[in-house]
Structure 1
Amino acid sequence: MKKDIFSIPNILSFVRILLIPIFVWLYVTAGTSGEYYLAAAVVVASGITDFLDGQIARRCNMITEFGKFLDPLADKLTQGTLFLCIAINYPLMWILLAIWLLKDGFMAIMGLVLLKTKQTKLDGARWYGKVCTAIIYVAVLALLFFPGVFPEGSPASSLLILICIGVMLLSGILYSVALIKMWLHNETIAKENRMKLREIAKESTHEHSNIKSE
């Protein structure tokens, strides 16, 4: 059990979680470009650990049930923290944060509904989810590394954040459609199974009646 918890991929996920308060402190107290660069460097380090833990887990056969829980938890905590901190200087980020919360909340609820049916195997992130995450991370790094190019309230920073909002909305719609399709498919299968059980019950009752009459 200890080996599963403290595998290399899981340690990297723990490191990613530990980097969150470091980023918050660096970003909130930053007053110069150099200090913002340090905060950005922490985000880069977090992204590297995210990439490495997935690669190591798959290539070295270190995928564990605990890791399946810890890795997305570290991702969500990191993303939420980034959005929240950057919203301090860029108010448009509050919209992105709200959409992110709605999207992930809906996905979590639908995921639980689908898991209860035990008829659908939930895969990992879809390609559009990965593209969305990549674009948002690039945008966040641009805001951190180039505050002079993307100052607060400027058309450039607003456009960058609006692109992120659009990508997040599109990703949320695509995920919602995919999850609803899975749910409808499960409902169809469940309905068919109920009909089959009724037919079997009717046949059994009919056979029992015939035996009695004989």
Structure 2
Amino acid sequence: MNLPNKLTVLRVIMIPFFVVFMLTDLAGQYSNYIALVIFCVASLTDMLDGKIARKYNLVTNFGKFMDPLADKLLVGAAMICLIPMDKLPAWIVIVIISREFIISGFRLVASDSGIVIAASYWGKFKTVSQMFMIIFLILDLPGHTAVMIETVLIYLALILTVVSLIDYIAKNKEVLTKGGM
């Protein structure tokens, strides 16, 4: 197993630890900060594994499958943890996770037709906005300004999620006809 794939597996392994620290007081008042560090490290492995894989030509089928899945698991777990903390409305989490299922299904249909759907800039912006949103929400800074920034980040992530979905479908609409949908 090459280094990018090991980083992807490490990201998946980090998710349960992140969830434990997010949802418990295992480390007392430091639990959220430990969860934040785990989330940040896991997010950095996402960026790092892709760069290493492309730079050293270490792209594998395992990586193509597991890397986006690991990202979805990490971000989805984080957003679900934020719901009972009243930091993120459930309906927004449902919209964001639904987009991930739609795009994953879309990619499966495309691959059956021999079409590869590459990540778009909108998709990358969406992921970065979601990660910043999650980091800021975990930080839970006090004050009206912080609440306003949280709200802006939540709706920015939501808008970019919907825009990236529309962009993927619009740019790859031939999948809908060739894929038998």
CA apart distance, 1:28: 0.8
Deviations 1:75-130 (A, max 9, x none): 11111101101112136431222112321222222222222223x3x133100000
Classify the secondary structure of the residue corresponding to 1:17: helix
- Who is 1:3 aligned against? none
- 1 CA distance for matches of 2:144 and 2:130? 15
8 Å CA contact 1:26, 1:36 repeated in 2: yes
Classify the secondary structure of the residue corresponding to 2:59: coil
- Who is 2:9 aligned against? 14
Which residues of structure 2 form unaligned runs of 5+?
none
If you compute each CA radius of gyration, which structure gives the higher value, 1 or 2?
1
Classify the secondary structure of the residue corresponding to 1:88: coil
Which residues of structure 1 form unaligned runs of 5+?
1-5, 188-214
Work out whether 1:126 is the aligned partner of 2:136: no
CA apart distance, 1:132: 0.9
- Who is 1:157 aligned against? 150
Name the TM-score, length of structure 2 as normaliser.
Answer: 0.85
Please tell me the root mean square deviation across aligned C-alpha atoms, in Å: 2.5
Q: 1:131 to 1:100 in 2, by over 3 A?
A: same
Q: 1:113 to 1:41 in 2, by over 3 A?
A: same
Matching residue's letter, 2:10: V
Work out whether 1:77 is the aligned partner of 2:77: no
Deviations 1:119-148 (A, max 9, x none): x3x133100000111111111111112432
8 Å CA contact 1:96, 1:164 repeated in 2: no
Q: 1:124 to 1:150 in 2, by over 3 A?
A: farther
- Who is 2:49 aligned against? 53
- Who is 1:62 aligned against? 58
Q: How does 1:52-201 map to 2 (within 5 A)?
A: 52-90=48-86, 92-118=88-114, 120=115, 122-149=116-143, 156-184=149-177, 186=178
CA apart distance, 1:181: 4.4
- 1 CA distance for matches of 2:122 and 2:169? 12
Identity fraction in percent: 27
Name the TM-score, length of structure 1 as normaliser.
Answer: 0.73
